[in-house]
Amino acid sequence: MSGVAKNDATRVIITGASGRMGRMLMRAVTESSAAILVGATERAGSDAMGVDVGLLMGIAPQNLCVVDALDHCAEADVIIDFTAPTACLEHAQFAADHQMGFVIGTTGFDDAQMQSLRTILSEQAVVMAANYSVGVNLALRLIEQAAQVLAADYDAEIIEAHHKHKVDAPSGTALAMGRALAKGRDVSLTDVAVYAREGITGPRESGSIGFSVIRAGNIVGEHTAMFAADEERLEITHIASDRMVFAKGALRAALWLGDAKAGWYDMQDVLSLH
């Protein structure tokens, strides 16, 4: 157990504890009066194994060390998972077996993995979001509303930028923006998305949604939805300057699950934006 007692606090386990987001998530939980960190896991063989979580966060020891399996953690109410698809599926099974809430920040699932995830967690309270920033989720709502007004005669583009270590593209947030835009126009993103342009592509197809991806340096996360007509251009942009914004949002989702019935939710539900 953590060294700091918090009465009636939501008990949280963080997977992928030594990663960028894992450390941020642990900090968010540790700094919250409404939550308590009761477990932190990493893959077997990680250099973080057995290390006190306080040292990973750069704060005083917390009397809680990183372990290699969820069943080595204390009893918890919710798991927050920002890992990889295969690991997330394993963690989801543990959450289902132990009737725990599950917050998913992992991205990059293929269709089969996504179906497996939904099957495993069919009787749990789950929040899954491409982005846990409050600002991003407000932007998604604004993009949908803008797309309802700015029809196919406005060319639509999604532009995103992240650090050079990010392994998937487009980002989950960029795809979420694309889905919000497509929903506003009452079309399927699959039918209208353009993910690459090279060579002689011909003129732009009316109604298409284009994606542009930048990977460079230490960019935390920048996303823009652009609506461009001959006479004007509207851009809805979100810029993250610190990953803590995602950690705080994920913790907000974890706390919200305490009053939620079994079901599949997103941050729009958490923020009452639907």
pLDDT digits (tens, 9 = 90+) for 79-131: 999 999 999 999 999 999 999 999 999 988 999 999 999 999 999 999 999 88
Which is catalytic among the residues 6, 72, 166, 248?
A: 166
For the question of residue 274 being annotated catalytic, the response is: no
Q: Name the average pLDDT for the chain.
A: 95
Which is catalytic among the residues 91, 162, 223, 238?
A: 162
Predicted pLDDT of residue 6: 65
For the question of residue 98 being annotated catalytic, the response is: no
Contact indicator for 4, 69 with CB cutoff of 8 Å: no
Predicted pLDDT of residue 3: 44
Predicted pLDDT of residue 5: 52
pLDDT digits (tens, 9 = 90+) for 132-162: 999 999 999 999 999 999 999 999 999 999 9
Arithmetic mean of pLDDT, 173-189? 96
- Catalogue all structural domains in the chain, each as residue range(s) with its CATH number: 10-128+243-270 (3.40.50.720), 134-240 (3.30.360.10)
Predicted pLDDT of residue 2: 41
Exposed e or buried b per residue across 34-43, where buried means at least 16 C-beta atoms within 10 angstroms of its C-beta? ebbbbbbbbe
Name the burial class of residue 143, with classes exposed (0-12), middle (13-18) and buried (19+) by CB atoms within 10 angstroms of its CB.
buried
